Amino acid sequence: MNIRILFILAKKPRLQTEETSASCSTHTELAVRDCSWSPEFIQDLLPSAERTALLYHLSYLCLGGFPKLERLIRERALETQMLFGSSEAVLLKCVGTSSNLVTSLFPMLMKAVEKNKPVLAVKYLEKAKSWIDDIIRAVEDMVKRYDEQNRSVASCTSDVFQEKKETEEKLQKHSEEMKSLEEAVKNLQDELKEVSRHMESTQNRIDSVNAELQEHIEKCSRRRHGILRALVPFYAVIQDSKMAPAEEAKTHSLKSQISGLNSDKSSLQRKEWDVNVRLTDLQLKLASSKIQLGVIPSPVHLNDVQQCLSRIMGILIQLKKFWEKVGTTLDSLKKKTFVNEDLIDDLEDMKEELLESVEAAGQYWQRFGSCCLRAQGIFSIQSRDAYKFLQIDPSSLSPAEWQKQRNSIMEKLSNINTVDSPTGAITE
């Protein structure tokens, strides 16, 4: 019957001799060493995962005062945290599948081959194929999710750039508005001083003309009625006394001057009030503009956020490549395990080759599962502990605490080393 067999068909027969056994062992060891799934394959996982969380933390820290961006970074960070959690779950699935193949299915398959039971062997092979296809689909889904997350972070980066642009424009607009208001306030203050100066001058002239009129009336009164009559208010004198034409003309002239000056004074008072009203309005607008300018956060840290997000995008691309390589490795293991062969009813002629193939395949899958377990531990730590900073509102931090956190993040970023760091390296 036709079937895809879950083995590598060895070229040499499996002979029960010490020499052949040693040769087979050497062949299997070389095959395992040649497997692309090696510790170096996950060497960058830990530093990449650590950097991702730290860069999110730095971005989040720099967004105090930008509620919209703070929310977006929080969302992207939580999505990445959940993505790491899903990565852990898929790697555990890889570990579980590898373990089940090596410890359960392969031994049963070997017994079926040894006992010449092709139907049972077919059943086990199809079961293995189902398991492998299942984890391949899960890995393919992870590749898509990392790609989607990368696009999401790219969109967030674009939002940060736009917010930075709008904030700078807003700052410039408010600065220009404040400058314009300050100039307008100064102009009105100068105008008010000029009006006050004119009012003072007009009042002095009024006082002067009033004094002249009083003196004129008194002179007329003394001449016509004597010194006692001068004690009577001048308006009574004007009403009761008949003046000479020249005296009356001067009196009329002085009164006209006073009337005109009072009219000018009233006009100046109205103007003074109008200027005061406009000045008060502008001063309130200027005060409001200063308050608003103080509320507008400085965009200086948005450059850091943008750079952090760009680096996160690069790391997500690396992690996507990691999952693509997981998929490639799985496909390679599948091809090394499933070969188009005819499994005849009588297994005697190929029994030794099939048994040797099962043993070799088991070595590959055991190696794959071991490395998946290490990678799973990395994603587990990051998804569980690395995003606790999201519980703190960055705008609530004092300047000293803010700087302390920033220094701590930068120190951690500087200490991450892909190869030499004991935390970054994953050894046998």
Tell me which of 1.10.287, 3.30.40, 1.10.20, 1.10.10 is the CATH number of domain 177-295. Answer: 1.10.287
Backbone φ, ψ for residue 5 (5° rounding): -95, 135
Q: Where are the alpha helices (DSSP H) in 296-338?
A: 302-337
d(CA 98, CA 393): 43
- The helix/strand/coil state of 6 is strand
Task: Report pLDDT for 290.
Answer: 74
Phi-psi region of 297 (alpha: psi -120 to 50; beta: other; left: phi over 0): beta
* pLDDT on residue 141: 93
Residue 187 is predicted with a pLDDT of 92
CA–CA dist 272, 191 (Å, integer): 9
Q: Are residues 335 and 9 in contact, defined by beta-carbon separation less than 8 angstroms?
A: no
Q: What is the pLDDT of residue 41?
A: 54
Residue type, 105: L
Q: What are residue 345's phi and psi, to 5 degrees?
A: -60, -35
d(CA 359, CA 24): 10
Instruction: Return the pLDDT at 336.
Output: 66
Look at phi and psi of residue 226 and say left if phi exceeds 0, alpha if psi is from -120 to 50, else beta: left
List of residues 6+ apart from 285 with CB closer than 8 A: 181
Between CA 136 and CA 95 the distance in angstroms is: 13
- Give me the tens of pLDDT residue by residue for the chain, a chain 428 residues long: 333 333 333 333 333 333 333 333 433 343 334 444 454 556 778 888 889 999 999 999 888 788 888 999 999 999 999 999 999 999 999 999 999 999 998 899 889 888 888 778 878 888 888 898 999 999 999 999 999 999 999 999 899 989 888 888 888 888 888 888 889 999 999 999 998 999 899 889 888 888 887 887 777 776 655 544 444 454 444 444 566 777 777 778 888 888 888 888 888 889 888 888 888 888 888 887 776 666 667 777 778 888 888 888 888 888 888 888 888 888 878 776 665 344 434 556 677 777 888 888 888 899 889 888 988 988 888 877 788 898 888 888 898 999 999 999 999 988 886 443 333 332 33
At 97 the pLDDT is 92
The pTM (predicted TM-score) of the whole model is: 0.67
Q: What whole-number distance in Å separates Cα of residue 222 and Cα of residue 219?
A: 5
Parse the chain into domains and list their residue ranges.
Answer: 2-175+302-415, 177-295
Tell me the two tokens of residue 409: 């993040």
